[in-house]
Amino acid sequence: MTKNNQNQLNFIRNIQRNLSKTTDCILNHPYLHALEKNEITKEKLKIFVCEQYYIISNDKRNFALMISKTSDDTAAKLFTTCLYTELNALENLTRMAEELAIEKRKIHEYEPLAGCQSYTNYLTKLAVYGLDTEILAALVVDFPVWGANCGKMSSTLKKNYGFSANSCLYLDKFAIPLQEEFVDESSKLIDSALPKYEKEMCTSARLILDYELSFWDTIYKYSIINR
């Protein structure tokens, strides 16, 4: 194996290492600590559900657009997997809404927060203007971080807030690690774009994590500081 090939195989791991400070901020966010201390009321938990509704609804359209634009069969398959994940997530989110007695009308009347929606809006930009590999690099880096926080949040809601397993299904499904096939196929496409699009892929991964952090910062602000 040549040195260049080895560098390609390690590309995602190098990105993750370079972005470890942002990742740590997300994984150890004050919002999660506040949940553990019961400092967030059930009323304020509704913000999480409502924001996720708008994010997932938009991401569903994002992945549909990605599928329609790509000419690569592997990328189309990967984006289709993401689309079905979002469709299932919307259904599972209703169970969390029911746990918190959020009426559908209230969700539609809710005014989303810019800091929370910046993630999905950036994904829209990638869907419209980005390369398949830019998108995949961002997803492979961000999804495990989001999933880890979903797992922590689910555990805390069950333990401290009396949530059932059924009402946490939305979180638990995201907490499941990415399928090995998804990561492998994504990595092959990402590797094929090196070194030509290295900068673009590094940028998309960095920005998606920054916007992920913005989600947690904003929801924390409106759940604790502005309560």
Range of the domain at 124: 42-225
Q: Which residue has the higher pLDDT, 1 or 11?
A: 11
35-81 confidence digits (pLDDT tens) = 999 999 999 999 999 999 999 999 999 999 999 999 999 999 999 99
Per the domain annotation, does 218 fall within a domain?
Answer: yes
Per the domain annotation, does 83 fall within a domain?
Answer: yes
Per the domain annotation, does 33 fall within a domain?
Answer: no
Give the per-residue pLDDT at 9: 55
Per the domain annotation, does 34 fall within a domain?
Answer: no
CATH of the domain at 74: 1.20.910.10
End-to-end CA, the chain = 57
Mean pLDDT, all residues of the chain: 94
pTM assigned to the model: 0.93
Per the domain annotation, does 215 fall within a domain?
Answer: yes
Q: Which two tokens stand for residue 54?
A: 């708008």
Three-class DSSP labels, the chain:
CCHHHHHHHCHHHHHHHHCHHHHHHHHCCHHHHHHHCCCCCHHHHHHHHHHHHHHHHHHHHHHHHHHHHCCCHHHHHHHHHHHHHHHHHHHHHHHHHHHCCCCHHHHHHCCCCHHHHHHHHHHHHHHHHCCHHHHHHHHHHHHHHHHHHHHHHHHHHHHHCCCCCCCCHHHHHHHCCCCHHHHHHHHHHHHHCCCCCHHHHHHHHHHHHHHHHHHHHHHHHHHHHCC
Contact 119, 214 (CB under 8 A): yes
Spacing of C-alpha 115 from chain mean position:
14
150-195 confidence digits (pLDDT tens) = 999 999 999 999 999 999 999 999 999 999 999 999 999 999 999 9
Q: How many domains does the chain have?
A: 1
